[in-house]
Amino acid sequence: MTVKTEHYERTLEMEGWSKGKDQSLFRILAPLKEKGTSTLKSGKNIYTYLPKTDSTIRLTGGMMQSSWMGSHFTNDDLVRESRLAEDYTWAISFEGERDGVKVMEITLTAREDAAVAWDKVVLTINTTDKLPLEQRFYDEEGALIRTMRFSDVKDLGGRRLPAQLTMIPADKPTEFTRFVYREAQFNLDLSDATFSKARLKK
């Protein structure tokens, strides 16, 4: 993960596991200073393990609104990640060619009873390979908050997937958080114990 902001640029190497939408575990491999720092998402809770102080902390209150590992994602973003199909209704808003690529634009609108972070999500996919190209997130006032770009499609764990995900906050267009997938494996047999607090420390 590379994060570039007005004040700093940092690159982290991480490994992570996830099961469904509610369970995931990330661990920092490099730089050395932060090695071993882990984040566990389990349902609505986020736990952080800090090797320097050998402590596990459940993030609460204001900390949920602050940045996850210095990125443009807040801890709250991790928790509120939702299944688009469940929480949104969709409609195809554009179909045709853009910049020489056949694309389909799908506009997702949040269901009224859904507790989601975004009121509207506009998803652009490549009609040929059915892979996402761009995802734009809007708030309840209809303002664009962030854009996620998908690129560098390659073989990951036997699937054709975009290996590079770049998030650009709308109010700071020169900043970004970029995830580059080196390797991926799918359909691993992970038990729920993988996502327990005990596993944070490894």
Binding residues (CB under 8 A) for another protein: these are: 3, 5-8, 10, 33-34, 37, 48, 50, 52-53, 55, 57-63, 66-67, 69-71
Nearest approach, Cβ of 128 to another protein (angstroms)?
Answer: 38
Q: Among residues 53 and 187, whose Cβ is nearest to another protein?
A: 53
Tell me the CB-side half-sphere exposure of residue 54, using CA atoms within 13 A. Answer: 0
Q: Among residues 48 and 126, whose Cβ is nearest to another protein?
A: 48
Q: Which amino acid type is present at position 81?
A: E
Nearest approach, Cβ of 115 to another protein (angstroms)?
Answer: 23
Q: Among residues 34 and 105, whose Cβ is nearest to another protein?
A: 34
What does the alpha-carbon distance between residue 71 and residue 55 come to, in Å, rounded to a whole number? 22
Asked whether the beta carbons of 43 and 192 are under 8 A apart, the reply is: no
Nearest to 120 by CA among 155, 90, 151: 90
Q: Among residues 46 and 108, whose Cβ is nearest to another protein?
A: 46
Burial tier of 46 (Cβ tally within 10 Å: 0-12, 13-18, 19+): buried
Nearest approach, Cβ of 158 to another protein (angstroms)?
Answer: 34
Nearest approach, Cβ of 126 to another protein (angstroms)?
Answer: 33
